[in-house]
Chain A
């Protein structure tokens, strides 16, 4: 579903991502992790067509993003950490607008179903200013899912959500994967990735450190069999010298 090969992105002299290759299949949820400046955001942006790669290829559902950007973008959805909504469009009008952009045929049924599933059907006539942070996030998700994308990119999806919102977001991601979507989640919350992801890609200085199923990566980098993803992450990135926060004398 998502095939990235030899992706390289340079900003002048600086190489943010170097020769990165990976794939995410239908039903898989891949966690994109790495320390700050590792190249996660650049990878996400290149993968969604927001910025052009310097070299390499991104294929979405078999369609080359550079050769047929419109066709590829029809297959994907990008959900940023901060919902970008229009001040003067109601919840329903947001969906009408997105439906027109994507040419969604059975718009009314799909939109109503999404709003009910996300528990915001009673907020249809409200403007974003009247919605809580979690509700806005739900609206952004509804807009992203309206056209039935096969590939979904989440950027820090839990930002600003309350515990109930966090649980619903995790359930939504799992449900979408069950329904056959390929998902990439970029987050610093390793516990989230451990719960939701089937695969993980660890980046450092723009290069791939590890890529594979959680079990494979754990087997390769963990020193103990029951090591958490956090331990694996520090071990893989070479930052395992970071001491635990609480140490007893």
Chain B
């Protein structure tokens, strides 16, 4: 029977690889794969490794550093396992797909075979993870060892953790069966851990001296002290199993690695038999888990990131929509309701007034000037982040739009009306955030830079000038996901789904490049247009601030013109878009 399950796993894997390989015949996947492969190549093989990681420098850390490193890793691993036993409430469930549940659970297959199949299946993920992690960890030359020992070390660690997680869930289920419910189990384990912790603390206090200032001054001294603590027998006994599992990974050479393999593999084998010999009914919980996983996946595909279990709550309207009038505001109304009440005009006005009021109060108090220094330091990166990431988040909305395209295409609307309508909400939301951040930065900059108001005034005008540019720039950047969806719909579909691969990473890199290119291409003409009016007004009026406003207005109008052209082009593209010729989006 296991042969059939191995066949299933291998065939599924082979077909997945074949499918991904065959679609490389399409240029869009080929280009994305090449870009993604180049990214991974530079990440794993060409990026400068950490100091001391050259070929001649693979001597590994010193004895003390190695000892402390291994022991601290063991402490982290122990913490992870303690957390699993105390806080995890999951029932004994093995992760199967709904298809596997449908085919395997009713087939004449022994439960032990199912468990073995699940373990075999998880090995695909673990081996891939171990390979990737080893590529990264071997670049940290200070760890010692080589790629093979690292890969094997990662494999032992990840496999043991996986087996322990399953075994723990089986044992918890057994505990439930004998009447040890979640609360009692937690009390029992917490009590046990407290008892061990207190005993250990009491013993360490008796045998070890507290660190002196000299122990804490230098890293070497600190390492020595820490080594003393970690090498104290009761603690070493407690951490021994975890250290045995980690030793192959931290092995400095092949001999050490081979020597450390025995205990690690013994623990791994022990875990395997623990899982296999646990007589626990996992079918019902596995079935439920498979159903929930499928629902979560479907909810994600449909854009409901809060999952299937949380029903939507009714939200108030941001403004009253009359049944007749311009169409784009109807899309804004609908999308603002979806975005939630935070960005409704009244609520956002209230938030803005509160934030600016607080800023002005801070600015009026000289004793808080040091606090103001941090405001631009936080607001400026935040503003850049919102400007770049905001339109990228729009990809999800665009995917939802594409899924409803068959109904939307029957609306009696021109393409530009739909594109403008769908773009309005992100433009309004991002602009609202950007304007508030600009106002906050202007208040902070004005207060910090000028004592007589002149610099503050110029700072304020600067903020107004930038504020004028924000809506069209955001509009242009929001247009990119639409252009991508209408030009490369298959890419948008794969970007929205979970997982990915080399080609998906390549697609993401290409999109990120696209954002920067469009931003640069859009800003260049407007910057050229702005120079003339700025110089003219500054020279004639003698006011740099006035020149700034006029120049920014000219640039803003140019950007608006560009945005209009983009919306018009996207509208035409939308009208000509042939859904049937593209890859399915839902």
Residues on A facing B (Cβ under 8 Å): 9, 11, 16, 42, 45, 48-52, 69-74, 76-78, 80, 84, 86-90, 93, 96-97, 99-105, 107-108, 125-130
9 additional A-B residue pairs with CB within 8 Å, beyond A88-B314, A89-B337: A16-B580, A45-B406, A50-B409, A50-B579, A80-B406, A96-B321, A100-B321, A104-B323, A108-B323
- Any A CB within 8 A of the CB of B14: no
Which residues of the other chain, A, contact B50 by a CB distance below 8 angstroms? Answer: none
- CA–CA, A11 and B579, complex, Å: 11
State whether B576 touches A70 (Cβ < 8 A).
no
B204-254 interface (Cβ within 8 A of A):
none
| Contact pick for B304, options A69, A87, A90, CB 8 Å | A87
CB distance from B323 to the nearest CB of A (A): 4
- CA–CA, A128 and B313, complex, Å: 10
| Contact pick for A101, options B311, B409, B411, CB 8 Å | B411
- CA–CA, A129 and B407, complex, Å: 19
State whether A100 touches B409 (Cβ < 8 A).
no
Shortest 6 CB-CB contacts between residues of A and residues of B = A107-B323, A99-B323, A73-B412, A100-B330, A74-B412, A50-B409
- Any A CB within 8 A of the CB of B404: yes
Which residues of the other chain, B, contact A100 by a CB distance below 8 angstroms? Answer: 321-325, 327, 329-330
CB distance from A156 to the nearest CB of B (A): 13
- Any A CB within 8 A of the CB of B279: no
- Any A CB within 8 A of the CB of B28: no
| Contact pick for B338, options A84, A88, A126, CB 8 Å | A88
- CA–CA, A89 and B413, complex, Å: 21
- Any A CB within 8 A of the CB of B100: no
- CA–CA, A76 and B412, complex, Å: 9
Whether A69 contacts B575 in the complex (CB less than 8 A), given A49-B409, A87-B312, A125-B314, comes out as yes
B381-419 interface (Cβ within 8 A of A):
403-407, 409-414
CB distance from B536 to the nearest CB of A (A): 44
Which residues of the other chain, B, contact A45 by a CB distance below 8 angstroms? Answer: 406, 579-580
- Any A CB within 8 A of the CB of B333: yes
State whether B323 touches A130 (Cβ < 8 A).
no
Query: Can you show 25 pairs from A to B with CB atoms below 8 A apart?
Result: A16-B580, A45-B406, A45-B579, A45-B580, A51-B580, A77-B410, A78-B406, A84-B403, A84-B406, A86-B334, A87-B312, A89-B334, A89-B337, A93-B317, A93-B334, A96-B321, A96-B323, A99-B323, A99-B324, A100-B322, A100-B323, A100-B325, A105-B323, A129-B311, A130-B311
| Contact pick for B410, options A9, A73, A130, CB 8 Å | A73
What secondary structure prevails in chain A residues at the interface with B? mixed
Q: Chain B 288-311 against A: per-residue CB contact (8 Å), 1 yes, 0 no?
A: 000000000000000010000001
- CA–CA, A105 and B329, complex, Å: 17
- Any A CB within 8 A of the CB of B259: no
- CA–CA, A108 and B412, complex, Å: 20
- Any A CB within 8 A of the CB of B315: yes
- CA–CA, A80 and B407, complex, Å: 8
State whether B413 touches A70 (Cβ < 8 A).
yes
CB distance from A182 to the nearest CB of B (A): 15
Which residues of the other chain, B, contact A70 by a CB distance below 8 angstroms? Answer: 412-414
- CA–CA, A238 and B578, complex, Å: 32
Q: Which of chain A's residues has its CB closest to B414's CB? A: A70
State whether B323 touches A88 (Cβ < 8 A).
no
CB distance from A68 to the nearest CB of B (A): 10
State whether A78 touches B312 (Cβ < 8 A).
no
State whether B333 touches A97 (Cβ < 8 A).
yes
State whether A97 touches B330 (Cβ < 8 A).
yes
Which residues of the other chain, A, contact B322 by a CB distance below 8 angstroms? Answer: 100
- Any A CB within 8 A of the CB of B581: yes
Which residues of the other chain, A, contact B405 by a CB distance below 8 angstroms? Answer: 50
CB distance from A125 to the nearest CB of B (A): 7
- CA–CA, A127 and B315, complex, Å: 9
Q: Which of chain B's residues has its CB closest to A104's CB? A: B323
CB distance from B535 to the nearest CB of A (A): 46
CB distance from A129 to the nearest CB of B (A): 4
Which residues of the other chain, A, contact B411 by a CB distance below 8 angstroms? Answer: 73, 101-102
Which residues of the other chain, A, contact B406 by a CB distance below 8 angstroms? Answer: 45, 50, 78, 80, 84
| Contact pick for A105, options B324, B327, B337, CB 8 Å | B324
Q: Which of chain A's residues has its CB closest to B578's CB? A: A51
Q: Which of chain B's residues has its CB closest to A87's CB? A: B312
Q: Which of chain B's residues has its CB closest to A110's CB? A: B323
- CA–CA, A74 and B312, complex, Å: 31
Q: Chain B 549-586 against A: per-residue CB contact (8 Å), 1 yes, 0 no?
A: 00000000000000000000000000110111100000
- CA–CA, A60 and B313, complex, Å: 40
CB distance from A44 to the nearest CB of B (A): 10
State whether B581 touches A102 (Cβ < 8 A).
no
B124-148 interface (Cβ within 8 A of A):
none
CB distance from A107 to the nearest CB of B (A): 4
- CA–CA, A1 and B576, complex, Å: 25
Which residues of the other chain, B, contact A105 by a CB distance below 8 angstroms? Answer: 323-324
- CA–CA, A69 and B409, complex, Å: 10
State whether A88 touches B337 (Cβ < 8 A).
yes
- CA–CA, A144 and B64, complex, Å: 75
Which residues of the other chain, A, contact B325 by a CB distance below 8 angstroms? Answer: 100
Whether A52 contacts B337 in the complex (CB less than 8 A), given A97-B330, A104-B324, A130-B311, comes out as no
Which residues of the other chain, B, contact A69 by a CB distance below 8 angstroms? Answer: 412, 575
- CA–CA, A49 and B412, complex, Å: 10
Which residues of the other chain, A, contact B334 by a CB distance below 8 angstroms? Answer: 86, 89, 93, 97
Whether A93 contacts B337 in the complex (CB less than 8 A), given A87-B304, A88-B315, A101-B413, comes out as yes
- CA–CA, A129 and B309, complex, Å: 11
Whether A101 contacts B330 in the complex (CB less than 8 A), given A70-B412, A93-B317, comes out as yes
Which residues of the other chain, A, contact B314 by a CB distance below 8 angstroms? Answer: 88, 90, 125-127
State whether A51 touches B579 (Cβ < 8 A).
yes
State whether B410 touches A52 (Cβ < 8 A).
no
| Contact pick for B321, options A77, A84, A97, A103, CB 8 Å | A97
- CA–CA, A71 and B411, complex, Å: 10
Give the residue among A49, A50, A73, A129 with the most B Cβ atoms within 10 A.
A50
Give the residue among A74, A99, A101 with the most B Cβ atoms within 10 A.
A101
State whether B407 touches A78 (Cβ < 8 A).
yes
- CA–CA, A232 and B311, complex, Å: 46
State whether B410 touches A76 (Cβ < 8 A).
yes
- CA–CA, A84 and B534, complex, Å: 51
Which residues of the other chain, A, contact B313 by a CB distance below 8 angstroms? Answer: 127
Q: Which of chain B's residues has its CB closest to A129's CB? A: B311
- CA–CA, A76 and B410, complex, Å: 8
Whether A103 contacts B337 in the complex (CB less than 8 A), given A42-B580, A69-B575, A70-B414, comes out as no
Which residues of the other chain, B, contact A93 by a CB distance below 8 angstroms? Answer: 317, 334, 337
- CA–CA, A45 and B325, complex, Å: 28
Which residues of the other chain, A, contact B338 by a CB distance below 8 angstroms? Answer: 86-88
| Contact pick for B580, options A11, A84, A107, A125, CB 8 Å | A11
- CA–CA, A46 and B290, complex, Å: 39
State whether A49 touches B410 (Cβ < 8 A).
yes
- CA–CA, A9 and B322, complex, Å: 40
- CA–CA, A11 and B582, complex, Å: 10
Which residues of the other chain, B, contact A9 by a CB distance below 8 angstroms? Answer: 580
- CA–CA, A70 and B411, complex, Å: 8
- CA–CA, A101 and B580, complex, Å: 25
Which residues of the other chain, B, contact A97 by a CB distance below 8 angstroms? Answer: 321, 330, 333-334
